[in-house]
Amino acid sequence: MKSRWAEYGGKPVLYIDLSNFKDDIKGFETEITTAIKTLGQRMYEQPPHSVLVLVDLSNTTLSQNANHFLSEAIKDTKKYVKRTAVVGMTGIRKMFLDYFAMLANSDTGSFTDTDSAIKWLLAAK
């Protein structure tokens, strides 16, 4: 599993690494399912709307199946998330970000690199 809890600037961040799956929907599904089952447990112990999340979708095709898996994951975790930074949702793919932001009901931003995304997450009040 590539995803993990990481610490940036002294704050815990749930880093969901869905990068470089390209068209491998099975690998994508396995990563997101495993992350929710294992790493998500820590999220469920946090106060509502307190968790910072970094999602990296770089070099991963957002197929209809991939969108479905993301949507389901967001529904399960949205009450815990304060802010989500998404890397790799540029160009036409950025249209999906509005949809995910609506589902998450949290502050969501799109970034081209991880460093910018982390800075934005850490600026959360």
Question: Are 81 and 106 within 8 A, CB to CB?
Answer: yes
Residue linked to tokens 């970094």: 54
What residue ranges do the domains of the chain occupy?
4-122
pLDDT by residue (tens digit) across 82-114? 999 999 987 766 777 777 777 777 788 999 999
Q: For residues 118 and 102, give the distance between their C-alpha atoms in angstroms, rounded to a whole number.
A: 21
| 4-122: CATH number | 3.30.750
Strand bridging mode 81-87 / 107-111: parallel
The predicted pLDDT at position 31 comes to 93
Confidence class for position 64, pLDDT limits 50, 70, 90: confident
Question: Are 105 and 78 within 8 A, CB to CB?
Answer: yes
The predicted pLDDT at position 125 comes to 76
Whether the pTM exceeds 0.85: the reply is yes
pLDDT by residue (tens digit) across 2-57? 999 999 999 999 999 999 999 998 999 999 889 988 998 899 899 999 999 999 99
The predicted pLDDT at position 100 comes to 76
